[in-house]
Amino acid sequence: MFRKSLILALAVSLAAPGAGAEDVDLEVVHRIRQEALQKSQVMNHLFYLVDVHGPRITGSPGFQGAAEWAAGQLGEWGLENVRLEKWGPFGVGWSREYISAHLVEPGYEMLIAVPLGWTPSTDGKLRGTPVQAPLERHATFRRDEAAIDEFIAKYKGKLSGKMVMIAPLKDVKPQQKAAMHRYTDAELTARAEAPEPQIPIDFSDPNLEIPEDAEKRAEMYTQAPAWFNQWRRDESKRIQGKLNTFLTSEGVKLVLHPAALGDGGTIFPPRMGDRDPDHPLPPPAIAITPEQYNRVWRLTEKGLKPVIEVEVKTTFHKDSLDSLNVVGEIPGGSKAGEVVMIGGHLDSTAAALGATDNAAGCSVMLEVIRILKTLDLKLDRTVRIALWGGEEQGLLGSKAYVKEHFGDPETMKLTARHDEFAGYFNVDNGSGKIRGVYLQGNDMARPIFKSWLEPFADLGAKTLSIRDTGGTDHLSFDAVGLPGFQFIQDPIEYSTRTHHSNMDAYDRIQPADLMQAAAIVASFVYHTANRPEKLPRKPLPQPQPLERPTP
């Protein structure tokens, strides 16, 4: 009796008028915490998405299997309107089937290797001494293309039938800081501060320089209009296609890359192939660890003629598999026509089983749905889950869904359902616990989320950042003026070990962190579904055409 009275008193205190606080049902929060933290099934969801169905490349059997399994779970839990909703066309699907890579002379070493996405199979088992043909790549398109033109001029007629080492010797430095990291209080305080005002960038300037530094480049891209982002994707593919056309026409048998990042057996492979059937097909290509790549390079450089043996088998899926999103919903009560959405992307990249990116986020969202159904919570608004396809190729699944159901960001022509949308929450930043919310420039959401986070301060979640965060599916909703949010998460090993790498496996997941995330998201969904008003919205954005403006 005392505990219930205390909970009710705290609820009244949190909802005190004049304090700008939002109503918080602490009794429901307590029940959600109990279910999420003590009866969790989130790692079981993760097991099926990663160990059974990974990798989950869009348009591959792995993705199809994961989507069907997730839809089956939603159906078992009693969700309605469960469907595999088609979108697209995506292009050509691809899957890896087999790889064997060895250094056999002068001393045997098994090579840790992954095939690059959308590269074809080798012509059986290849055996021979690779040749060095290093290509220096750059961050800006103009310098990148100039380097490729120089490469083509230098090696034309010299690479037929060769296995080519296409990158220079990789500099491997000792690790000076831990690969694993959680945000400190000081870092969270800094993240909560508004960014410095920026002078507007003229993205139509043909002489615009793209910074070499990755952080500065990412900061610059947060200001970029939709047409610029589309243009740089197209330019990147065009320039890569020029290289692929040359290598294939020259008769290169295999391209060897060192991992773009990583060491100690971790491979973050570069991108070489492409899902577009009209783009040039690359030669077979693999990435190996920097240490092993360097060994083969040094042996070749000294004239010792090392011998490697490589076989790769891949499959292209042109017509057999559809592009799709997994969708299901819990119907609401008094405001059933209004919708709260949660989601994360189901697809993974070529080298990865996709545990932290993004089976973690999908497992959290599945667990949120399980919690809401298990507790049989009253929900005034309909709650809908969507697990997206094609995120890794540019948020394709969520963009297609938003365009069909809510509005077209290119024209800002909106559907009738746009007004019925209450809010969208996304998880897609790895395995780390939730530390707060990116407000995506929506100041009006600050007092609401502050109140909803207070019951989870003891679990480390209390930071609100006005900043935008990019690269994932909440942006598709934000692009048409709908309130869409991504949570702040501890990085753990995201950039150092797991993101798009061969080490993005089940064992790199932090179970307690996913349990904490599921509790917080479930509470946010419950309160959004039962709030008197929908979440506040920013003013509608201007249309964002994808066609580059004429200078």
pLDDT per residue as tens digits for the range 467-487 = 999 899 999 999 999 999 999
111-125, 141-155, 206-220, 234-248 — which is least confidently predicted? 206-220
Per-residue pLDDT averaged across 252-264, rounded? Answer: 92
Instruction: State which fold the 33-91+320-530 domain adopts.
Output: Aminopeptidase (3.40.630)
* CATH of region 93-317: 3.50.30.30
Q: How confident is the model at residue 271 (pLDDT cuts 50, 70, 90)?
A: confident
Per-residue pLDDT for 453 more than 60?
A: yes
Residue 194 per-residue DSSP state: P
For the entire predicted model, the pTM comes to: 0.94
312 φψ region: left (φ > 0), alpha (ψ -120 to 50), beta (else): beta
- Boundaries of every domain in the chain: 33-91+320-530, 93-317
| Residue range 513-532, pLDDT digits in tens | 999 999 999 999 999 999 99
Q: What is the structure's pLDDT at 551?
A: 67
- Given a contact cutoff of 8 angstroms between Cβ atoms, the answer to whether 525 and 368 are in contact is yes
pLDDT in tens, 219-232: 788 889 999 999 98
pLDDT reading at 212 higher than 50? yes
d(CA 526, CA 369): 10
What is the per-residue pLDDT across 349-392, written as a single tens digit (0 to 9) for each?
A: 998 999 999 999 999 999 999 999 999 999 999 999 999 999 99
CA 373 to CA 356: how far, in whole Å?
25
Inter-CA distances, 347 with 120, 358, 359, 360, Å: 20, 7, 8, 12
14 pLDDT higher than 80:
no
Beta bridge partners of 485: 425
